[in-house]
Protein backbone atom coordinates (compact mmCIF):
# COMPACT_ATOMS: atom_id res chain seq x y z
CA UNK A 1 0.00 0.00 0.00
CA UNK A 2 1.43 3.37 -0.98
CA UNK A 3 1.16 5.58 2.07
CA UNK A 4 4.12 7.90 1.83
CA UNK A 5 5.60 10.71 -0.24
CA UNK A 6 9.34 11.23 0.26
CA UNK A 7 10.49 14.85 0.71
CA UNK A 8 14.18 13.94 0.39
CA UNK A 9 15.96 11.40 -1.81
CA UNK A 10 19.04 11.05 -4.00
CA UNK A 11 19.91 9.16 -7.16
CA UNK A 12 22.80 9.07 -9.62
CA UNK A 13 22.20 8.62 -13.34
CA UNK A 14 25.29 6.39 -13.47
CA UNK A 15 27.42 4.93 -10.67
CA UNK A 16 30.30 7.01 -9.27
CA UNK A 17 33.47 5.76 -7.56
CA UNK A 18 32.86 6.93 -3.94
CA UNK A 19 32.09 7.81 -1.17
CA UNK A 20 28.46 6.69 -1.39
CA UNK A 21 26.64 4.57 -3.86
CA UNK A 22 23.44 6.54 -4.41
CA UNK A 23 20.75 4.40 -6.00
CA UNK A 24 19.99 4.49 -9.69
CA UNK A 25 16.45 5.67 -10.42
CA UNK A 26 15.35 2.05 -10.77
CA UNK A 27 16.99 0.94 -7.51
CA UNK A 28 15.32 3.81 -5.67
CA UNK A 29 11.92 2.89 -7.11
CA UNK A 30 12.46 -0.70 -5.97
CA UNK A 31 13.00 0.57 -2.41
CA UNK A 32 9.97 2.82 -2.76
CA UNK A 33 7.83 -0.17 -3.70
CA UNK A 34 9.14 -2.13 -0.70
CA UNK A 35 8.54 0.76 1.73
CA UNK A 36 5.14 1.87 0.42
CA UNK A 37 6.36 5.19 -1.02
CA UNK A 38 4.35 6.54 -3.92
CA UNK A 39 6.77 9.24 -5.07
CA UNK A 40 9.72 11.29 -3.90
CA UNK A 41 11.75 14.46 -4.33
CA UNK A 42 15.12 14.01 -6.05
CA UNK A 43 17.79 16.39 -4.75
CA UNK A 44 20.90 17.05 -6.86
CA UNK A 45 24.33 17.38 -5.23
CA UNK A 46 26.42 20.16 -6.78
CA UNK A 47 29.10 21.08 -4.22
CA UNK A 48 32.16 18.80 -4.09
CA UNK A 49 32.85 18.65 -0.34
CA UNK A 50 32.00 14.96 -0.09
CA UNK A 51 29.74 13.67 -2.86
CA UNK A 52 30.53 13.60 -6.56
CA UNK A 53 28.63 16.57 -8.07
CA UNK A 54 25.86 15.95 -10.58
CA UNK A 55 23.96 18.02 -13.12
CA UNK A 56 20.44 19.30 -12.58
CA UNK A 57 19.81 17.75 -15.99
CA UNK A 58 20.44 14.29 -14.54
CA UNK A 59 17.58 14.86 -12.08
CA UNK A 60 15.32 16.25 -14.82
CA UNK A 61 16.09 13.18 -16.97
CA UNK A 62 15.08 10.79 -14.18
CA UNK A 63 11.95 12.81 -13.41
CA UNK A 64 10.99 12.83 -17.09
CA UNK A 65 11.55 9.08 -17.28
CA UNK A 66 9.35 8.43 -14.21
CA UNK A 67 7.05 11.48 -14.01
CA UNK A 68 4.59 9.76 -11.66
CA UNK A 69 7.31 8.83 -9.17
CA UNK A 70 9.87 11.64 -9.02
CA UNK A 71 9.61 15.36 -8.19
CA UNK A 72 12.74 17.23 -9.36
CA UNK A 73 14.61 19.88 -7.34
CA UNK A 74 17.42 21.99 -8.78
CA UNK A 75 20.62 23.00 -7.04
CA UNK A 76 23.20 25.69 -7.64
CA UNK A 77 26.47 26.31 -5.89
CA UNK A 78 26.32 29.93 -4.67
CA UNK A 79 29.78 30.53 -6.15
CA UNK A 80 28.18 30.26 -9.61
CA UNK A 81 28.04 33.26 -11.97
CA UNK A 82 30.90 35.37 -10.52
CA UNK A 83 31.59 33.98 -7.03
CA UNK A 84 30.11 37.10 -5.49
CA UNK A 85 27.23 38.16 -3.26
CA UNK A 86 25.53 39.98 -6.14
CA UNK A 87 25.59 37.05 -8.58
CA UNK A 88 22.32 36.94 -10.56
CA UNK A 89 21.44 33.43 -9.38
CA UNK A 90 17.75 34.06 -10.09
CA UNK A 91 18.59 33.52 -13.77
CA UNK A 92 19.54 29.90 -13.01
CA UNK A 93 16.71 29.33 -10.55
CA UNK A 94 14.05 30.71 -12.89
CA UNK A 95 15.35 28.52 -15.71
CA UNK A 96 14.97 25.35 -13.65
CA UNK A 97 11.68 26.41 -12.08
CA UNK A 98 10.27 26.79 -15.59
CA UNK A 99 11.43 23.25 -16.34
CA UNK A 100 9.47 21.85 -13.41
CA UNK A 101 11.91 21.96 -10.49
CA UNK A 102 9.92 22.44 -7.28
CA UNK A 103 12.68 23.49 -4.90
CA UNK A 104 16.36 24.17 -4.28
CA UNK A 105 18.73 21.76 -2.60
CA UNK A 106 20.34 19.95 -1.08
CA UNK A 107 22.65 22.88 -0.30
CA UNK A 108 25.74 21.30 1.25
CA UNK A 109 28.78 23.51 0.78
CA UNK A 110 30.83 23.88 3.97
CA UNK A 111 30.57 27.59 4.78
CA UNK A 112 28.50 29.49 7.37
CA UNK A 113 24.76 29.92 6.83
CA UNK A 114 25.31 33.70 7.02
CA UNK A 115 28.05 33.65 4.36
CA UNK A 116 27.08 36.45 1.92
CA UNK A 117 27.13 34.05 -1.04
CA UNK A 118 24.71 31.67 0.71
CA UNK A 119 22.48 34.57 1.74
CA UNK A 120 22.45 35.73 -1.89
CA UNK A 121 21.33 32.25 -3.00
CA UNK A 122 18.54 32.27 -0.40
CA UNK A 123 17.50 35.81 -1.39
CA UNK A 124 17.07 34.68 -4.99
CA UNK A 125 15.27 31.48 -3.96
CA UNK A 126 12.78 33.62 -2.02
CA UNK A 127 12.32 35.94 -5.00
CA UNK A 128 11.83 33.08 -7.48
CA UNK A 129 9.56 31.19 -5.08
CA UNK A 130 11.49 27.97 -4.44
CA UNK A 131 11.72 26.30 -1.01
CA UNK A 132 15.22 25.41 0.24
CA UNK A 133 16.67 22.39 1.99
CA UNK A 134 20.25 22.34 3.27
CA UNK A 135 22.39 20.07 5.39
CA UNK A 136 24.32 21.48 8.32
CA UNK A 137 27.65 21.10 10.08
CA UNK A 138 29.12 22.18 13.40
CA UNK A 139 32.49 22.72 11.70
CA UNK A 140 33.60 25.37 9.19
CA UNK A 141 36.14 23.16 7.43
CA UNK A 142 36.77 19.46 6.99
CA UNK A 143 33.10 18.63 6.54
CA UNK A 144 30.10 19.18 4.30
CA UNK A 145 27.05 21.28 5.12
CA UNK A 146 26.35 24.86 6.14
CA UNK A 147 27.90 25.83 9.48
CA UNK A 148 25.72 27.17 12.28
CA UNK A 149 26.50 27.88 15.93
CA UNK A 150 24.89 26.10 18.89
CA UNK A 151 21.36 27.44 19.21
CA UNK A 152 21.12 27.95 15.41
CA UNK A 153 21.31 31.78 15.41
CA UNK A 154 22.34 31.89 11.74
CA UNK A 155 19.29 29.86 10.71
CA UNK A 156 17.12 32.15 12.84
CA UNK A 157 18.51 35.29 11.22
CA UNK A 158 17.93 33.73 7.80
CA UNK A 159 14.30 32.94 8.69
CA UNK A 160 13.91 36.57 9.84
CA UNK A 161 15.58 38.01 6.78
CA UNK A 162 13.56 35.99 4.25
CA UNK A 163 10.05 35.60 5.70
CA UNK A 164 8.65 34.36 2.37
CA UNK A 165 11.36 31.71 1.92
CA UNK A 166 10.31 28.27 3.11
CA UNK A 167 13.32 26.58 4.71
CA UNK A 168 13.25 22.89 5.53
CA UNK A 169 15.17 22.00 8.70
CA UNK A 170 17.22 18.87 8.00
CA UNK A 171 20.20 16.91 9.28
CA UNK A 172 22.02 16.42 12.58
CA UNK A 173 22.85 20.03 13.45
CA UNK A 174 19.18 21.00 13.14
CA UNK A 175 17.51 17.98 14.71
CA UNK A 176 20.00 17.66 17.59
CA UNK A 177 18.44 20.83 19.00
CA UNK A 178 14.92 19.43 19.48
CA UNK A 179 16.00 19.25 23.14
CA UNK A 180 18.47 21.41 25.00
CA UNK A 181 22.02 20.26 24.20
CA UNK A 182 24.07 18.56 26.91
CA UNK A 183 27.28 19.54 25.05
CA UNK A 184 27.74 21.47 21.79
CA UNK A 185 29.78 18.60 20.31
CA UNK A 186 26.80 16.27 20.23
CA UNK A 187 25.31 18.23 17.37
CA UNK A 188 27.08 16.34 14.62
CA UNK A 189 29.68 13.90 13.37
CA UNK A 190 33.09 14.80 11.99
CA UNK A 191 35.47 12.95 9.72
CA UNK A 192 38.05 10.91 11.58
CA UNK A 193 41.51 11.52 10.16
CA UNK A 194 42.07 7.74 10.24
CA UNK A 195 38.95 7.19 8.11
CA UNK A 196 35.23 7.06 8.79
CA UNK A 197 33.35 9.43 11.06
CA UNK A 198 33.32 10.03 14.80
CA UNK A 199 30.75 11.72 16.97
CA UNK A 200 27.42 11.20 18.65
CA UNK A 201 23.88 12.47 18.66
CA UNK A 202 21.86 13.44 21.74
CA UNK A 203 19.97 10.52 23.27
CA UNK A 204 17.36 9.97 25.95
CA UNK A 205 14.32 11.91 27.07
CA UNK A 206 13.84 15.62 26.28
CA UNK A 207 14.28 17.15 29.74
CA UNK A 208 14.00 20.66 28.37
CA UNK A 209 12.94 21.85 24.92
CA UNK A 210 15.68 23.03 22.60
CA UNK A 211 15.53 25.79 20.01
CA UNK A 212 13.89 23.70 17.26
CA UNK A 213 10.32 23.71 18.66
CA UNK A 214 10.75 27.36 19.60
CA UNK A 215 11.83 28.25 16.06
CA UNK A 216 8.83 26.34 14.66
CA UNK A 217 6.50 28.35 16.89
CA UNK A 218 8.10 31.65 16.01
CA UNK A 219 8.71 31.31 12.25
CA UNK A 220 5.90 30.02 10.02
CA UNK A 221 8.41 29.74 7.12
CA UNK A 222 10.29 26.93 8.91
CA UNK A 223 9.25 23.43 7.83
CA UNK A 224 10.62 20.06 8.96
CA UNK A 225 12.27 17.42 6.78
CA UNK A 226 12.07 14.16 8.76
CA UNK A 227 14.46 12.25 6.49
CA UNK A 228 17.63 10.46 7.63
CA UNK A 229 18.32 8.81 10.97
CA UNK A 230 19.13 12.12 12.70
CA UNK A 231 15.51 13.31 12.44
CA UNK A 232 14.25 9.87 13.45
CA UNK A 233 16.61 9.94 16.44
CA UNK A 234 15.20 13.35 17.44
CA UNK A 235 11.57 12.24 17.52
CA UNK A 236 12.10 8.63 18.67
CA UNK A 237 14.58 9.32 21.51
CA UNK A 238 11.65 10.36 23.71
CA UNK A 239 8.51 8.33 22.87
CA UNK A 240 6.39 10.72 24.93
CA UNK A 241 7.71 13.99 23.54
CA UNK A 242 8.08 12.78 19.92
CA UNK A 243 4.36 12.27 19.23
CA UNK A 244 3.55 15.61 20.90
CA UNK A 245 6.07 17.34 18.62
CA UNK A 246 4.58 15.67 15.52
CA UNK A 247 1.09 16.66 16.62
CA UNK A 248 1.93 20.29 17.39
CA UNK A 249 3.68 20.86 14.04
CA UNK A 250 1.62 18.42 11.96
CA UNK A 251 1.07 20.95 9.15
CA UNK A 252 4.78 21.62 8.56
CA UNK A 253 6.44 18.20 8.95
CA UNK A 254 7.16 15.96 5.98
CA UNK A 255 8.06 12.28 5.78
CA UNK A 256 11.43 11.64 4.13
CA UNK A 257 14.03 8.90 3.66
CA UNK A 258 17.36 10.42 2.50
CA UNK A 259 18.16 7.02 1.00
CA UNK A 260 21.87 7.26 0.13
CA UNK A 261 22.52 3.62 -0.75
CA UNK A 262 20.32 0.72 -1.75
CA UNK A 263 20.20 -1.14 1.56
CA UNK A 264 19.85 1.89 3.83
CA UNK A 265 17.26 1.32 6.57
CA UNK A 266 14.36 3.76 6.99
CA UNK A 267 13.12 3.31 10.59
CA UNK A 268 10.75 6.29 10.30
CA UNK A 269 8.28 4.15 8.33
CA UNK A 270 7.78 1.69 11.20
CA UNK A 271 7.83 4.36 13.92
CA UNK A 272 5.08 6.44 12.29
CA UNK A 273 2.90 3.39 11.62
CA UNK A 274 3.45 2.11 15.16
CA UNK A 275 2.61 5.46 16.76
CA UNK A 276 -0.53 5.68 14.65
CA UNK A 277 -1.60 2.13 15.56
CA UNK A 278 -0.96 2.82 19.27
CA UNK A 279 -2.91 6.10 19.03
CA UNK A 280 0.17 8.09 20.02
CA UNK A 281 -0.55 10.18 16.93
CA UNK A 282 -3.95 10.49 15.29
CA UNK A 283 -4.80 9.17 11.84
CA UNK A 284 -4.99 12.82 10.71
CA UNK A 285 -1.47 13.61 11.94
CA UNK A 286 -0.12 10.43 10.37
CA UNK A 287 -1.73 11.16 6.99
CA UNK A 288 -0.54 14.78 6.93
CA UNK A 289 3.07 13.89 7.70
CA UNK A 290 3.11 10.76 5.53
CA UNK A 291 1.73 12.35 2.38
CA UNK A 292 -0.97 15.02 2.59
CA UNK A 293 1.34 17.93 3.44
CA UNK A 294 3.43 17.03 0.39
CA UNK A 295 0.36 16.68 -1.84
CA UNK A 296 -0.75 20.17 -0.80
CA UNK A 297 2.74 21.70 -0.90
CA UNK A 298 3.53 20.48 -4.42
CA UNK A 299 -0.03 20.71 -5.74
CA UNK A 300 -0.03 17.02 -6.64
CA UNK A 301 -3.78 16.54 -6.98
Measured distance CA(190)–CA(67) in Å, rounded: 37
pLDDT of 63 reads: 98
71-92 pLDDT, tens digit each: 999 999 999 999 999 999 999 9
Q: Report the alpha-carbon angle 134-167-108, nearest 5.
A: 10
pLDDT of 301 reads: 79
pLDDT of 7 reads: 98
150-168 pLDDT, tens digit each: 999 999 999 999 999 999 9
Report which of 47, 257, 66 is spatially closest to residue 137, judged by C-alpha positions.
47
Compute CA distances 269 → 5, 261, 273, 275, 292, whole Å.
Answer: 11, 17, 6, 10, 15
Question: Whole-prediction pTM value?
Answer: 0.97
Side-chain-side CA neighbours of residue 255 (13 Å): 31
Max alpha carbon distance in the chain (Å)? 54
229-250 pLDDT, tens digit each: 999 999 999 999 999 999 999 9
Amino acid sequence: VEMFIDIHAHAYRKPVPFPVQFCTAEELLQRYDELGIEKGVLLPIVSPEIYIPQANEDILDMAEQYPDRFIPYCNVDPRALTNSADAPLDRILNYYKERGCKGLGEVMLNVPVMDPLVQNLFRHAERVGLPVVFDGSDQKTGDFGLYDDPGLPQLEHTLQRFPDLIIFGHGPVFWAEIGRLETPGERSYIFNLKGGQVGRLPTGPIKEEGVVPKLFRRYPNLYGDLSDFTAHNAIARDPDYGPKFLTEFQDRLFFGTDICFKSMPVPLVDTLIQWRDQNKISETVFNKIARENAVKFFGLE
